Amino acid sequence: ILNVEQSPQSLHVQEGDSTNFTCSFPSSNFYALHWYRWETAKSPEALFVMTLNGDEKKKGRISATLNTKEGYSYLYIKGSQPEDSATYLCARRDNYGQNFVFGPGTRLSVLP
């Protein structure tokens, strides 16, 4: 099992601040990188799926980039709001199967 790492483990920001997290993963046999948001007592919700080196995706105030050659992805949140408080998970899929290998997540708390 190839490890997927995420940093930071947790962070607290003030409402209105912008923030970003990192997901690093093995670049060999890469197929796709997924970002999920997981709020307490809810289902993990898919944010982005990225497959190509240099991919950039955006949904409202949240965006993500992908570098498959060096094995990392960044997730950005612009103007954080309290409702952004959640754990953000990234997951890597490889060419061999459909399994998602998840990182440990970044727990974000946005303080009003």
Interacting residues with other proteins (CB under 8 A): 1, 4, 6, 31-32, 34, 36, 41-46, 49-51, 89, 91, 93, 97-105
Using CA atoms, how far apart are residues 52 and 56, in angstroms rounded to an integer?
A: 9
Using CA atoms, how far apart are residues 100 and 14, in angstroms rounded to an integer?
A: 32
Least distance (Å) between residue 14 CB and other proteins? 25
Residue placing its CB nearer to other proteins in the complex, 51 or 109: 51
Least distance (Å) between residue 76 CB and other proteins? 20
Residue placing its CB nearer to other proteins in the complex, 46 or 111: 46
Strand partners, 7: 22
Least distance (Å) between residue 111 CB and other proteins? 22
Taking the CA atoms of 13, 7, 76 and 33 in sequence, report the sign of the dihedral they define: negative
Taking the CA atoms of 11, 16, 20 and 21 in sequence, report the sign of the dihedral they define: positive
